[in-house]
């Protein structure tokens, strides 16, 4: 019953109250034990005092009375044996003193508070002492009056009997007092034993009660805390749906409420972190990280299609209308794509204006319907702030595992398909339709390019440019070669495309520019005026460091900017036209000549000629070959020359291989020509010698003599 009451109390009270009350109860028991022990010890001390004082004093008095009576009797016997009076006088004094002391002891015994003995016993001792004293006195008097013989007879007959009775009574009194003392000792031992048992019982009770309270308190604390620990472990394990108990006691309830609040906040934070890690904040679509995980999982054991989408003309729209409108446009595009891509397929934003769709289990026939649905959805007019926006996109499509199962490789091939679609001005392209130029040998060479740059294995060949009006070499084009220690001279078309794809071209181009500018500066110091041309890729053109680095290099070498010409292909202008245009303007402000390479091979070169700050056009060799024999090619080249003259641009004909081609270009007023018919690409150390040897032929051409003799071997170096 008490245990149940304590248990209910422990459940209702707080932990602090339980601990206070439990230890208060223990302290109370210990205090009670201390008080009781003190009282018992005080009682035992008083009993001991009484035991030592009263019985011992009574026994001492009785013994003293006995001793003095015996001493007086002994002196009386000596007196009875002493005939001389003079010798008896001292004995009288000793007997009187002994009798007086005996009387005093008996008187004190009679006056003592002796509850153990009735007064009759004391009175009898007193009476025997009186009778003995009277007979003792009679015996003494007979000694002096009748002599020793009569006195001895009186002593033997009466006095000795009275003495014996007195001694017996005093001995009896002493024996009684000894018995009383033994009884008191026994009572003291019994009391001490009882006290010891009581102390042991109270101590045991205190220990039992303490253990019971400790058990109840520990259970009331440990069990709820164990429940709290279990809740914390489920939270740590990431299980956020387990039920949290209410708890017993205010502190535990507060703790469990705190754990519940902590779990709720952790869930909110994890959802927020997951959203930040896997959800695009602008569109609400899965982001690149989420999509790459899904693509890795899907491509590992399934088949399907990956579609990468790039918004056409997004940069001009964003710049013209502002980033806020651009963000809203991306949100609207995301909503349209989400409506087109249903579960279990996935749509995500990879970044910028690039989106990706993952169609699980889709093949080429099914993907055609998906692509058309996407294009139809995007081409619906969009209105933002009263402004109508017409949107179009370019899509690249790959299939896994047919086109591969590595997510990075699939994305790369999809990007190549997008670029192909943009070049063809198509809405989409399949990666399977593109030639996969990534070969094992080329990948091996690609891995060696970084070491080649460190070892200075790259070399520059220069191909002369002939100024047709005065038949002089006015410039050279720098062509990069790789002098491999084992494979020999490697042509650029075997490693440059992959250097551009991997971005390693950004490390090669700065080295190439430093070398070319250094060579041009040295030629100028030697009195040779040659404009050095070199090609830069799209990555180079869009690199912000290109302009500052080139400006510092021109200042360091004191080379006039117009002695350097940068050749840009149309494809380099298409990836990011806005930024490419800005960088071209910055380069033009430096004074560097700019040339559009492979003119005529693209689709929109005239637009670039009209808007870009270029100084030169290079007509693609496909139009120069047999230009003297093909009227259509001749018409195109002639019209281009006229157009450039009207626009103030120089024209370079590349790929000149025959004397008739060169003569036709001279007649039609082409500015510059280059090709194997004029000079092959050659190392820098051979250039001066070639210029010296060809000087006479160039002078003869200018004087009206036959044109330059064309080299018989026209193989590409």
Residue 430's closest CA among 401, 468, 403, 456?
403
Asked if residue 622 lies in contact with residue 635, where contact means CB atoms within 8 angstroms, the answer is: no
Q: Give residue 73's pLDDT.
A: 72
Mean pLDDT for 259-267 is 78
Q: Give residue 308's pLDDT.
A: 93
Least confident piece of the model among 238-242, 473-477, 580-584, 674-678: 238-242
Token pair of 662, please?
A: 């060169």
Q: Give residue 59's pLDDT.
A: 61
Q: Give residue 672's pLDDT.
A: 94
Looking at the predicted structure, is the pLDDT value of residue 62 above 70? no
Bridge partners of 595, per DSSP, are 567, 616
Token pair of 53, please?
A: 């004082």
Name the residue with higher pLDDT: 184 or 654.
654
Q: Model-level pTM greater than 0.85?
A: no
pLDDT in tens, 93-131: 777 777 777 777 777 766 665 555 556 767 777 777 777
- Please state which architecture CATH assigns to domain 440-702: Alpha-Beta Barrel (3.20)
Phi, psi of 361 (to 5 degrees): 75, 10
Looking at the predicted structure, is the pLDDT value of residue 500 above 50? yes
Mean pLDDT for 56-67 is 66
pLDDT in tens, 216-226: 766 666 677 77
Residue 468's closest CA among 624, 685, 608, 592?
624
Q: Give residue 601's pLDDT.
A: 63
CA distance 285 to 349: 6
Mean pLDDT for 150-160 is 78
Least confident piece of the model among 66-70, 496-500, 527-531: 66-70
Looking at the predicted structure, is the pLDDT value of residue 231 above 70? yes
Residue 443's closest CA among 510, 501, 507?
501
Looking at the predicted structure, is the pLDDT value of residue 355 above 60? yes
For 341, half-sphere exposure in the C-beta direction (CA atoms, 13 angstrom radius) is 28
Average pLDDT of the chain is 78
Looking at the predicted structure, is the pLDDT value of residue 265 above 90? no
Mean pLDDT for 620-632 is 90
Strand order in the sheet with 354-360: 346-351, 354-360, 304-311, 393-400, 428-430
A 10 A CB-CB count for 521 gives 20
Q: Give residue 715's pLDDT.
A: 30
CA distance 118 to 702: 174
Asked if residue 573 lies in contact with residue 537, where contact means CB atoms within 8 angstroms, the answer is: no
Q: Give residue 216's pLDDT.
A: 72
Q: Give residue 613's pLDDT.
A: 87
pLDDT in tens, 190-210: 777 777 777 777 777 777 777
CATH fit for domain 288-433, picks 3.40.50.300, 1.10.10.10, 3.30.70.270, 1.20.120.520: 3.30.70.270
Q: Angle at CA 334, nearest 5°, toward 333 and 336?
A: 65
**What percentage of residues in the chain have a pLDDT greater than 70?**
79
Looking at the predicted structure, is the pLDDT value of residue 701 above 70? no
Looking at the predicted structure, is the pLDDT value of residue 592 above 70? yes
Q: Give residue 610's pLDDT.
A: 73
Name the residue with higher pLDDT: 229 or 572.
229
Q: Give residue 399's pLDDT.
A: 92
Residue 319 CB burial class (10 angstroms; 0-12, 13-18, ≥19): exposed
pLDDT category of residue 442 using cuts at 50, 70 and 90: low
């Amino acid at each position: 019953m008490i245990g149940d009451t304590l248990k209910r109390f422990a459940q209702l009270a707080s932990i602090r109250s339980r601990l206070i009350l439990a230890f208060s109860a223990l302290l109370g028991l210990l205090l009670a034990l201390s008080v009781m022990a003190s009282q018992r010890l005080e009682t035992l001390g008083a009993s001991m005092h009484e035991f030592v004082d009263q019985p011992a004093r009574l026994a001492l008095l009785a013994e003293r009375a006995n001793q003095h009576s015996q001493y007086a009797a002994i002196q009386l016997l000596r007196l009875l044996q002493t005939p001389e009076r003079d010798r008896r006088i001292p004995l009288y004094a000793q007997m009187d003193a002994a009798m007086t002391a005996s009387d005093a002891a008996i008187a004190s015994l009679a006056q003592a508070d002796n509850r153990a003995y009735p007064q009759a016993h004391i009175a009898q001792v007193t009476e025997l002492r009186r009778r003995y004293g009277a007979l003792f006195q009679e015996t003494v008097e007979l000694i002096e009056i009748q002599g020793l013989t009569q006195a001895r007879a009186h002593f033997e007959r009466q006095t000795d009997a009275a003495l014996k009775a007195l001694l017996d009574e005093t001995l009896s009194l002493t024996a009684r007092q000894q018995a009383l003392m033994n009884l008191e000792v026994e009572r003291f031992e019994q009391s001490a034993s009882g006290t010891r048992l009581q102390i042991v019982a109270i101590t045991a009770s205190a220990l039992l009660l303490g253990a019971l309270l400790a058990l109840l308190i520990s259970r009331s604390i440990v069990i709820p805390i164990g429940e709290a620990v279990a809740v914390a472990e489920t939270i740590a394990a990431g299980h956020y749906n387990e039920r949290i108990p209410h708890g017993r006691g205010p502190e535990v309830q507060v703790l469990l409420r705190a754990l519940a609040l902590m779990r709720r906040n952790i869930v909110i934070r994890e959802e927020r972190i997951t959203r930040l890690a896997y959800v695009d904040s602008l569109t609400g679509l899965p982001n690149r990280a989420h999509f790459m995980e899904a693509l890795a999982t899907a491509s590992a054991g399934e088949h399907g299609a990956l579609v990468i989408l790039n918004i056409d003309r997004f940069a001009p729209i964003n710049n013209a209308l502002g980033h806020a409108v651009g963000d809203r446009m991306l949100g609207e595009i995301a909503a349209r794509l989400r409506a087109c891509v249903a579960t279990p397929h996935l749509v995500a934003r990879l970044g910028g204006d690039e989106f990706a769709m993952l169609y699980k289990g889709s093949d080429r026939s099914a993907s055609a319907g998906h692509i058309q649905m996407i294009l139809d959805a995007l081409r619906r007019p969009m209105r933002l702030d009263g402004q109508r926006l017409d949107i179009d996109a370019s899509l690249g499509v790959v299939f896994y595992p047919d086109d591969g199962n590595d997510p990075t490789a699939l994305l790369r091939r999809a990007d190549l398909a997008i670029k192909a679609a943009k070049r063809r001005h198509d809405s989409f392209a399949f990666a399977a339709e593109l030639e996969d130029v990534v070969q094992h040998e080329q990948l091996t060479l690609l891995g060696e390019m970084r070491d080649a740059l460190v070892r200075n294995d790259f070399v520059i060949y220069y191909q002369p440019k002939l100024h047709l009006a005065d038949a002089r070499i006015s410039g050279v084009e720098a062509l990069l070669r790789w002098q491999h220690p084992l494979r020999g001279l490697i042509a650029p078309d075997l490693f440059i495309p992959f250097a551009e794809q991997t971005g390693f071209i950004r490390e090669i181009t700065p080295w190439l520019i430093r070398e070319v500018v250094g060579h041009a500066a040295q030629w100028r110091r030697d009195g040779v005026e040659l404009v050095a041309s070199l090609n830069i890729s799209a990555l180079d053109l869009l690199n912000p460091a290109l302009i500052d680095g080139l400006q510092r290099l021109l200042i360091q070498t004191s080379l006039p900017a117009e002695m350097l010409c940068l050749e840009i292909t149309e494809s380099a202008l298409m990836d990011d036209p806005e930024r490419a245009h800005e960088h071209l303007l910055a380069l033009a402000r430096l004074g560097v000549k700019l040339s559009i390479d492979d003119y005529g091979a693209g689709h929109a070169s005239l637009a670039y000629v009209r808007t870009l700050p270029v100084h030169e056009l290079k007509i693609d060799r496909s139009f120069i070959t047999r230009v003297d024999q093909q009227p259509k090619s001749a018409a195109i080249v002639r019209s281009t020359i006229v157009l450039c003259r009207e626009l103030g641009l120089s024209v370079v004909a590349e790929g000149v291989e025959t004397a008739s081609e060169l003569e036709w270009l001279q007649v039609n007023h082409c500015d510059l020509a280059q090709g194997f018919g004029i000079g092959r690409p050659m190392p820098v150390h051979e250039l001066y010698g070639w210029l010296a040897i060809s000087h006479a032929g160039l002078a003869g051409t200018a004087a009206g003599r036959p044109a330059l003799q064309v080299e018989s071997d026209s193989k590409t170096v």
